[in-house]
Structure 1
Amino acid sequence: MFHIYCPYCEEYREEEEFHAKGQAHIARPLDPDNCSDREWGEFLYFRDNPRGLHHELWVHATGCRKFFNITRDTQTYEIKETYKIGVQPSVSANPDQ
């Protein structure tokens, strides 16, 4: 078992209290009514699955119930940082992220 820091509760809690919800920082199409089927399908179903650093969306399901982001190494499972929604990550494998 490991502990995850919730940036809203401002404390470490057991991993069982949290649920991963997928890739973070995915922009919704500005005009979904005018997207092609291909564009809409890519938004809904296609996500990055890198080896190494990855930004993920998580929820503190049994705590404050708020969503936040985690930067995690998918090879070692090490959590590099947690941060609130709307904040940019300070740790990134790609300087453009």
Structure 2
Amino acid sequence: MARIGMEAQAVIAMRLAGMAGFWETPPSEFVRMVAEKPQAAVEAVEAATLAAIRGGSADEVMHAGLREIGRHTAGNFARLSQMGPSFGAEQAAQ
């Protein structure tokens, strides 16, 4: 859960920096950040439900749901981290 929290905060920071023009993000990022939430929630609930149906303990059910959320936060973090700051390229060219 700590990893998910840190990745989520970093993703939020990079997206906010992208909105301000300080991080290289495509225009589609702003739609993506809203559109991905329902899908991630469905996948997490689905995984948790399957774990519960299989007779998993409360910890196993929670872990199954969080694994899906973590997959999304890790993917977003890795993708956005590759983009980097947008002001660096302009300064390097000068």
TM-score, normalised with respect to structure 1:
0.30
Higher relative contact order (CA 8 A, sep 6+): 2
TM-score, normalised with respect to structure 2:
0.30
Relative to its length, the structure with more helix (as a share) is: 2
Relative to its length, the structure with more strand (as a share) is: 1
State the structure with more CA Rg. 2
